[in-house]
C-alpha cells in the first residue's frame, strides 16, 4: 500500500510519498521453491520539495530524499533557465548510502541469491550537468563532478579492507576521491512496428591531484524491439570496460534483475569488462495480462582476475552464466504486478514477485 500528499507553501511544492512494498515470496511460492527466496519486506519512503521560481527568474530547486530498508539517497538540484537552443544547466549535490552487493556480495543457493559481503558505500558527489538540445532522435548530456567514496562496514565504520583482508579502495586509504568527466549520447526511435534504442556512456577520471583516480570507463546499451503480430520481441545487448586506476566497487557486476535473471546480484561475475544479452518475447493474454518468455546470458570476458583483490575468484563466481524462464505481467488499478520464474545454469529455480506504481492519493 502507499500514500502520497502534495502541499503548496507559497510557490513551493512539497510532495510526500510513502510506499510499503512486501516481497511475499514464501507465502506465494510452491513448497519446492521456498528455499530459493526468503521472505523480505521493504519499506520505502520519499520526500520531495520543489520550488519553481527560487530567485524570481524561473530558477528551479528540487530537493529529494529516498529511504529504503538498507539504503538512502539525498539529492539537491538547482536549474537555471536558458534559451532552448543552449545547453540546459543543472547544479547538483548528492549523497547516497547503499550495500555493495554486486562485487563483494557472497553467492548462495547455487548462485541464485547474493548475501551481504559486509561492505557498504557512502558516496558524496558535487557537479554540473549540461544537457544539449535534442536534435532529431539524438540527445546528449555532459557532466563533470567531484566524487568522494567511502567504504563502510555494517556497523557504519570506515574500512580499508574487506572480510578477507583485501583492499576496498584504490588509494588504500579509507576513501577514494576523483573528478569525473562524463559524456552520454542517446538515440531513440519508436513506432507501431517496433523500437530502436542506443546509448553510450564514457567517463574519464581527471588527475586534478596526484592521488586521485585516473581511469577511462565506457558502457553501451543497444536495444531493438519488433512487433510480430500480436507478440512483441525485444532484444538488448549491454557491454562495457574500464582501464586505468580501479577500485573493486567500480567493477561491472553481472547477474540479477536487469542483467541475468536466475542469479543473484553480481553472482555471475564482476570484472573490468562485461557483455550481457537479453531476449524477451511478450504475448498479450487479455487486456490486463501479458505472458513472457525470456533468455538472458552474461560474461565477464575473463576480466575478473584484473579486478584488485579478485573478489569474483575468491567467491567462486563462474564468470559466465545464463538464465531462462517465463513470466506474467498484470495491470490493475493498484499498480503493475510482475511475476518471473527463472532457471539458471545450475538448474536453480527462482521466483521473482514485484509490484510497481503502487500508490494511492490522499
Asked whether residue 202 is domain-assigned, the answer is: yes
Cβ atoms within 10 A of the Cβ of 55, count? 9
Cβ atoms within 10 A of the Cβ of 250, count? 22
Nearest CA to 305 out of 354, 271, 274, 276 is that of: 271
Q: What is the pLDDT of residue 326?
A: 96
Asked whether residue 10 is domain-assigned, the answer is: yes
Asked whether residue 249 is domain-assigned, the answer is: yes
Asked whether residue 237 is domain-assigned, the answer is: yes
User: Which tens digit of pLDDT belongs to each residue from 18-72?
Assistant: 544 433 333 333 333 333 333 333 446 778 888 887 787 788 999 999 888 889 9
The count of structural domains within the chain is 1
Nearest CA to 109 out of 343, 358, 361 is that of: 343
User: Which tens digit of pLDDT belongs to each residue from 323-344?
Assistant: 999 999 998 776 788 899 999 9
Range with the largest mean pLDDT of 28-32, 65-69, 194-198, 256-260: 194-198
- The CATH number for 339's domain is 2.40.160.50
User: Which tens digit of pLDDT belongs to each residue from 136-162?
Assistant: 789 999 999 999 999 999 999 999 999
In whole angstroms, give the CA distance from residue 121 to residue 248: 12
Asked whether residue 248 is domain-assigned, the answer is: yes
Structural domain of residue 319, as residue ranges? Answer: 3-357
Asked whether residue 362 is domain-assigned, the answer is: no
Nearest CA to 355 out of 15, 28, 16 is that of: 28
**Residue 249: helix, strand or coil by DSSP?**
helix
CA-to-CA separations, 146 to 80, 212, 312, in angstroms, rounded:
20, 10, 28
Q: Which residues contact 265 (CB under 8 A, 6 or more apart)?
A: 101, 102, 105, 114, 253, 255, 256, 257, 259
Average pLDDT of the residues in 283-289: 93
Does the pLDDT of residue 312 top 70, yes or no? yes
Asked whether residue 177 is domain-assigned, the answer is: yes
Cβ atoms within 10 A of the Cβ of 277, count? 16
Asked whether residue 66 is domain-assigned, the answer is: yes
The percent of residues above 70 in pLDDT, for the chain, comes to 86
Q: What is the pLDDT of residue 5?
A: 62
Average pLDDT of the residues in 226-249: 96
225: cell is 524491439
Render 112-139 in DSSP notation, one character per residue: TEEE--S-EEEEEEEEEEEEPPPBTTEE
Q: Which residues contact 279 (CB under 8 A, 6 or more apart)?
A: 233, 234, 235, 236, 294, 295, 296
DSSP one-letter code for 105: P
Amino acid at each position: 500500500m502507499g500514500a502520497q500528499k502534495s502541499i503548496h507553501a507559497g510557490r513551493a511544492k512539497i510532495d510526500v510519498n510513502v510506499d510499503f512494498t512486501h516481497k511475499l515470496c514464501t507465502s506465494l511460492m510452491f513448497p519446492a521453491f521456498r528455499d530459493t527466496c526468503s521472505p523480505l519486506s521493504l519499506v520505502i519512503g520519499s520526500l520531495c520539495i520543489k520550488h519553481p521560481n527560487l530567485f524570481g527568474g524561473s530558477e528551479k530547486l528540487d530537493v529529494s530524499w529516498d529511504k529504503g530498508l538498507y539504503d538512502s539517497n539525498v539529492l539537491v538540484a538547482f536549474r537555471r533557465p536558458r534559451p532552448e537552443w543552449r545547453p540546459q544547466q543543472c547544479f547538483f549535490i548528492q549523497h547516497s548510502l547503499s550495500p555493495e552487493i554486486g562485487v563483494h556480495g557472497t553467492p548462495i543457493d547455487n548462485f541464485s541469491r547474493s548475501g551481504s559481503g559486509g561492505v557498504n558505500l557512502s558516496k558524496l558527489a558535487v557537479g554540473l550537468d549540461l544537457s544539449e538540445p535534442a536534435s532529431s532522435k539524438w540527445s546528449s548530456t555532459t557532466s563533470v563532478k567531484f566524487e568522494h567514496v567511502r567504504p563502510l562496514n555494517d556497523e557504519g565504520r570506515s574500512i580499508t579492507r574487506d572480510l578477507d583482508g583485501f583492499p576496498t579502495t584504490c588509494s588504500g586509504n579509507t576513501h577514494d576521491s576523483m573528478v569525473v568527466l562524463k559524456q552520454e549520447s542517446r538515440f531513440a526511435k519508436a513506432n507501431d512496428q517496433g523500437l530502436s534504442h542506443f546509448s553510450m556512456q564514457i567517463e574519464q577520471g581527471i588527475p586534478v591531484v596526484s592521488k586521485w583516480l585516473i581511469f577511462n570507463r565506457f558502457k553501451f546499451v543497444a536495444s531493438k524491439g519488433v512487433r510480430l503480430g500480436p507478440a512483441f520481441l525485444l532484444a538488448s545487448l549491454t557491454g562495457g570496460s574500464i582501464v586505468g586506476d580501479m577500485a573493486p566497487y567500480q567493477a561491472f557486476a553481472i547477474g540479477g534483475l536487469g542483467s541475468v535473471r536466475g542469479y543473484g546480484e553480481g553472482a555471475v561475475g564482476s570484472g573490468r569488462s562485461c557483455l550481457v544479452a537479453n531476449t524477451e518475447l511478450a504475448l498479450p493474454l487479455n487486456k490486463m495480462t501479458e505472458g513472457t518468455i525470456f533468455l538472458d546470458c552474461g560474461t565477464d570476458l575473463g576480466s575478473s582476475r584484473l579486478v584488485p583483490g579478485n573478489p569474483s575468484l575468491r567467491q567462486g563466481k563462474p564468470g559466465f552464466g545464463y538464465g531462462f524462464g517465463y513470466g506474467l505481467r498484470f495491470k490493475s488499478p493498484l499498480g503493475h504486478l510482475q511475476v518471473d520464474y527463472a532457471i539458471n545454469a545450475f538448474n536453480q529455480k527462482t521466483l521473482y514477485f514485484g509490484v510497481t506504481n503502487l500508490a494511492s492519493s490522499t
